[in-house]
Amino acid sequence: MDRYKPKKLQSHEWGYVPERWPVRQWNPPQGHGVYLFIRFPGRDVEFAAQTVVLGKRAVTTARGEFIGIARKVHDLSSGPHQKEALVVYLFESTEAATRFFVSDNRFKQPDFPPPAGACEAWTVVKFLQTRDDDLFKTYMLCDNTLRAASYSEYKERFAHPFSQLILDYGGQPFVVQSIGADSLRRHHVEENTMVTMHLFKNEEDIKKMMGDPRYEDLKRRQIAMATDFTSVFTIDSQACP
């Protein structure tokens, strides 16, 4: 393959141009793509939708696509909640997602949307190929920080049986299964935090699954091993319908 490399001219040769800028490298795809999540207060959903529309060309340039916007996020964890919404993109690499985020004049602002610190953005690799993306619009996104178990123990006692339970209710389990997340703007996430995501056709299927006695038993196991922050949301593929 060396014969295809361009010849490097010497300074005395015709056509020589000094190397003022580093050559831009192409970043190979990761997994089946990289999700970019941008979470923000629900009161600013229309502002975010407008930002998505304005950034349409920049997404294409960065080899990405807009997946959808969730106008309401159901936070299933304990503690105080605020109304939140979320934007989902898919890029071919972490570098491409980062390049898009920092180049967007609205998303990259530290106070998007105001007040400062209200918005979070992070990326995770899409581990598995999905099917029928137009039908599976409901996402279950989980952050689990290990406290009293090893990763292998957590996987054996919780993840494997939970995967089967999701399949029993027509879902696609563990589309994302990542140790940590690449933060673009996010509150502190501990190193032993696992980020997982499961897809469903609708929120009703998730409610039915949560009513299954097996789910209650699995949640008890999970809480004994790790803290859990789970949110559920359904995306709309049109930012401004």
pLDDT digits (tens, 9 = 90+) for 66-94: 999 999 999 887 666 778 889 999 999 99
pTM of the model: 0.82
Helix H, strand E, coil C: the string for the chain is: CHHHCCCCCCCCCCCCCCCCCCCCCCCCCCCCCEEEEEEEEHHHHHHHHHHHHHCHHHHHHCCEEEEEEECCEEECCCCCCCCEEEEEEEECCHHHHHHHHHHCCCCCCCCCCCCCCCCEEEEEECCCCCCCCCCCCEEEEEEEEECCCCHHHHHHHHHHHHHHHHHHCCCEEEEEEEECCEEEECCCCCCCEEEEEEEECCHHHHHHHHCCHHHHHHHHHHHHHEEEEEEEEECECCCCC
Report the pLDDT value the prediction gives residue 148, as an integer from 0 to 100: 83
pLDDT digits (tens, 9 = 90+) for 177-199: 988 777 887 766 777 889 999 99
The pLDDT-based confidence of 24 (bands split at 50, 70, 90) is very low
Does 124 score more than 80 pLDDT?
Answer: yes
Report the pLDDT value the prediction gives residue 219, as an integer from 0 to 100: 94
The pLDDT-based confidence of 39 (bands split at 50, 70, 90) is confident
Average pLDDT of every residue of the chain: 84
